[in-house]
Chain A
Amino acid sequence: MSETTASSPPAAPIPSHLELFLAFFRITVTGFGGTLPWTRRMFVEEKRWLTEQEFNDLYALCQFLPGPNIVNLASVFGSRMQGPTGAVAAWVGFLVLPFFLMIAAAVLYENFGDVDAVRRVLGGVAPAAAGLIVATVAKMAMPLFRRFGPAPFVLVATALAIGVMRWPLVFVMLVVTPTSIALAWWMRR
């Protein structure tokens, strides 16, 4: 896959702008509790726009890039299929419905957030949402702790600097990221 999709044509015809918009729109409609599994299912199994390997490769790129991962995935996939305008179609398709849903949620929250029943429900949901992140961290950290290397120290130092010391992100990243990359380069054999 050196010249985008040209050297390895997907099993299905290249999606149009409208198809790109609708595909990402549908992912947000169905994507309760995380959009990644739905995106994979639609792209690989349903539409056959990408093979499993191509999808993994695309996702690796979007994890490599900063910013919201699946929003980036919409941009890269749209751009590979239909150029910059395709990226816009996929990006808008992915964000338009969640945006208006969130505006609706925000209006409800600003008006009824102090109602006693709403307070009680959110008082239960908020610690559960924190628990979801704890699980995400455990899943991601496990492989790093199983191998010898600097990764566990970098992980703990970053978590303490940001989560406990509450230092500004920019300064922590300016120190920690180059150090971690240098250590990874030095340890690469």
Chain B
Amino acid sequence: MKADGNIFFTLALQFVIMSLLAMGGANAVVPEMHRLVVEINPWMTEREFADMFAISQAAPGPNVMLVTLIGYHIAGVSGALVTTLAMCGPTAVLAHFFGRVWDRFKDAPWRIAVQAGVVPVSVGLIAATAIVLTRASVHSWVALGITAATALITYQSRWNPLWPIGIAGLLGFANLV
């Protein structure tokens, strides 16, 4: 798609807002990214979104790098730079300032209540991410089995997540999914 100045502004604004609402980390706002780039705008397909999430999980580095793939797909290297900076910049500045005053309020009752209130919201957001990604990536019984088995293995054991990812990739390559 052709990228003009307008698209960079939209991307910057939307990803800054998302980062400020990302209670519980980048994985909490995956459904909102999906809404923005698949549902509201015709920027990518459901399948491309699921692929990019999978690549961001399998690659080294933080999971937030999903936004780099999305930005590149929409508006090239500049788009990737805009989404990455928007997602990782403002909250890092916020963190710098909060880091200096944290000790003053870390044991305050209001701080503990805020955290107690925010935790179930962030787990709910990540649960929504699980729903959206399962819908986007599971199109067969074998795929559903892969999702279930990966979830069980990761929940029950201390295996590195790359193992189930690698095995699932081999199953896919062997045309079994």
Contacts and interface: CB of A to CB of B under 8 A. Distances in A.
Interface of B: 17-27, 29, 31-32, 35, 39, 48, 50-65, 68-69, 72-73, 77, 80, 84, 87-88, 90-96, 98-100, 102-104, 106, 109-134, 136-138, 143-144, 146-155, 160-162, 164-165, 167-177
Given A101-B61, A132-B150, A62 B95 contact: yes
Contact of B172 (A66, A123, A150, A152): A123
Contact of B100 (A63, A74, A79, A101): A79
B52 A131 contact: no
Interface stretch (A9-17, A43-51, A133-141): A133-141
Given A66-B21, A134-B134, A156-B124, A181 B57 contact: no
Contacts of B24: 63
Contact of A123 (B35, B92, B177): B177
Secondary structure of the A contact surface, majority rule: helix
A31 B68 CA distance: 18
B112 to A, nearest CB: 7
Contacts, number: 372
Secondary structure of the B contact surface, majority rule: helix
Given A67-B19, A105-B69, A188-B112, 8 more contacts: A64-B118, A71-B91, A94-B62, A101-B61, A109-B52, A137-B127, A162-B31, A166-B31
Nearest to B35: A166
Nearest to B56: A102
Interface of A: 1-2, 4, 28-35, 57, 60-76, 79-80, 84, 87, 91, 94-95, 97-99, 101-103, 105-107, 109-110, 113, 117, 120-141, 144, 150-152, 154-159, 161-164, 166, 168-170, 173, 176-177, 180-185, 188
